[in-house]
């Protein structure tokens, strides 16, 4: 079966009736890049920049960051690379920047931290832009956004970084910028965000946790953390529909896209890109190559009429089994 998956590398992720579904990957370490290219990834939908920050003893300098980022951009060029600005807080702490709170998932995390520390944000964005000089495949993505003013402030900082670097003689353009939709408040403001940025990307891991009020890391409630909960599916469908009303590209980079069944539903919902861990990419591609778009649409329609996550899961498994 490993050989079968390897043979998939250069085949398109395309349904039997010819619908093409771009499959991208999530990365953190440079090692992920090689694995992703081996599996035929067409882009990076989420580069978790906190990973290189976590394996150090102090904030990396602009130059150090630029070197690290450049490796991802270079290895994937000309394919797009989506770099998320630092997403610390919540479950991700830096040893040299401790954040102690009673409810870290409802606290100071993601864009909230970096907008409070423009020096961190600006240095990171400058490093990304410098790394991207001459490549033109950089995209920047903002985590944990809950309101329009955060998007506007981040846009201003990005403009400032671009301007500074141009004045310093660098040959750079403003990259594509996107907002992650990973809190319920963002779901209902998707069109407002979409008007201010180039793309939307759903962080379904956090979105599931916040919609269901289930800590994504608490084993006691792990049974309640379900991607196929009707409320989660409704939100995912709504986001794609709303983003498209503003002609924004909409992708997803949470784990649900790494499951073959989840990927088929998201394709039917109209997601433009599915970004997943490299390990699961061949499995997802294999499922897409077995189904017709019409059958995926029918599966989605059936699933959306159902009330219960377990039954939804059972139906998905049944259809996947039928595909073989």
CB neighbours of 14 closer than 8 A, spacing ≥ 6?
20, 21, 288, 289
Selection from 307, 321, 306, 172 nearest residue 260 by Cα: 321
By 3-state DSSP, what share of the chain in percent is helix, strand and coil, each rounded to 5? 55, 15, 35
Selection from 212, 232, 231 nearest residue 222 by Cα: 212
Of 175 and 254, nearer to Mg ion (C-beta) is 254
Could you say which residues in the range 165-194 bind ligand PEP, by CB under 6 A?
182
Query: From CA 263, how far away is CA 23, in angstroms rounded?
Result: 10
Residue 259 in contact with Mg ion, rule: CB under 5 A: no
Write down the least CB distance from residue 8 to ligand PEP, Å. Answer: 24
Partner whose footprint covers residue 285, from Mg ion, ligand PEP, none (CB < 5 to 8 Å by kind):
none
Q: Which of 32, 50, 206, 242 binds Mg ion (CB under 5 A)?
A: 206
Selection from 64, 90, 69 nearest residue 180 by Cα: 90
Residue 269 in contact with ligand PEP, rule: CB under 6 A: no
Query: From CA 312, how far away is CA 316, in angstroms rounded?
Result: 6
- Beta bridge partners, 81, equal 44, 138
Stretch touching Mg ion by CB under 5 A, among 94-102, 182-190, 298-306, 309-317: 182-190
Of 91 and 133, nearer to ligand PEP (C-beta) is 91
Residue 48 in contact with ligand PEP, rule: CB under 6 A: yes
Q: Which of 43, 60, 80, 203 binds ligand PEP (CB under 6 A)?
A: 203
DSSP conformation class of 96 = T
Q: In the structure encoding, which two tokens stand for residue 139, read together? A: 């995209």
Of 155 and 205, nearer to ligand PEP (C-beta) is 205
Q: Which of 236, 253, 286, 296 binds ligand PEP (CB under 6 A)?
A: 253
Partner whose footprint covers residue 48, from Mg ion, ligand PEP, none (CB < 5 to 8 Å by kind):
ligand PEP
Query: From CA 13, how far away is CA 248, in angstroms rounded?
Result: 22
Write down the least CB distance from residue 317 to Mg ion, Å. Answer: 27
3-class secondary-structure state, position 102: coil
Query: From CA 171, how far away is CA 116, in angstroms rounded?
Result: 29
Could you say which residues in the range 62-101 bind ligand PEP, by CB under 6 A?
87
Selection from 141, 232, 236, 233 nearest residue 193 by Cα: 141
Residue 254 in contact with ligand PEP, rule: CB under 6 A: yes
Write down the least CB distance from residue 206 to Mg ion, Å. Answer: 4
**CA distance between the termini of the chain:** 13
Write down the least CB distance from residue 77 to ligand PEP, Å. Answer: 23
Of 189 and 277, nearer to ligand PEP (C-beta) is 277
Give the interface size with ligand PEP as a residue count (CB under 6 A).
Answer: 10
Q: Which of 203, 260, 261, 262 binds Mg ion (CB under 5 A)?
A: 203
Residue 32 in contact with ligand PEP, rule: CB under 6 A: no
Residue 46 in contact with ligand PEP, rule: CB under 6 A: yes
3-class secondary-structure state, position 215: coil
Binding residues (CB under 6 A) for ligand PEP: these are 46, 48, 87, 182, 203-206, 253-254
Binding residues (CB under 5 A) for Mg ion: these are 182, 203, 206
């Amino acid at each position: 079966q490993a050989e079968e998956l390897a043979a998939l590398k250069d085949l398109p992720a395309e349904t039997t009736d010819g619908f093409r579904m771009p499959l991208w990957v999530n990365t953190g370490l440079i090692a992920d890049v090689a694995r992703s290219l081996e599996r035929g990834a067409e882009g990076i939908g989420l580069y978790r920049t906190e990973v290189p920050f976590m394996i150090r003893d102090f904030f990396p300098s602009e130059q150090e960051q630029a070197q690290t980022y450049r490796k991802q951009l270079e290895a994937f060029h000309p394919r797009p690379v989506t770099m998320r600005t630092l997403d610390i807080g919540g479950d991700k702490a830096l040893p040299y920047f401790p954040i102690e709170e009673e409810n870290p998932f409802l606290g100071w995390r993601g864009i909230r931290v970096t907008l409070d520390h423009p020096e961190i944000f600006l240095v990171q964005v400058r490093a990304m832009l410098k790394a991207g000089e001459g490549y033109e495949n950089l995209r920047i993505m903002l985590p944990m956004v809950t309101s329009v003013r955060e998007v506007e402030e981040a846009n201003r900082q990005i403009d400032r970084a671009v301007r500074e670097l141009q004045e310093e003689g660098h040959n750079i353009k403003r990259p594509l910028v996107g907002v992650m939709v990973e809190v319920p408040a963002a779901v209902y403001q998707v069109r407002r965000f979409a008007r201010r940025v180039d793309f939307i990307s759903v962080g379904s891991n956090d979105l599931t946790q916040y919609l269901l009020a289930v800590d994504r890391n608490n084993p006691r409630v792990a049974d309640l953390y379900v991607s196929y909960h009707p409320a989660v599916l409704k939100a995912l469908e709504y986001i794609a529909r709303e983003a498209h009303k503003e002609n924004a590209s909409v992708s997803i980079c949470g784990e649900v896209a790494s499951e073959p069944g989840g990927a088929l539903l998201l394709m039917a919902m109209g997601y433009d890109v599915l970004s997943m861990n490299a390990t699961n990419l061949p499995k997802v591609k294999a499922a897409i190559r077995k189904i017709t778009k019409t059958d995926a649409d029918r599966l989605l329609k059936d699933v959306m009429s159902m009330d219960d996550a377990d039954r939804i899961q059972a139906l998905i498994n049944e259809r996947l089994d039928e595909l073989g």
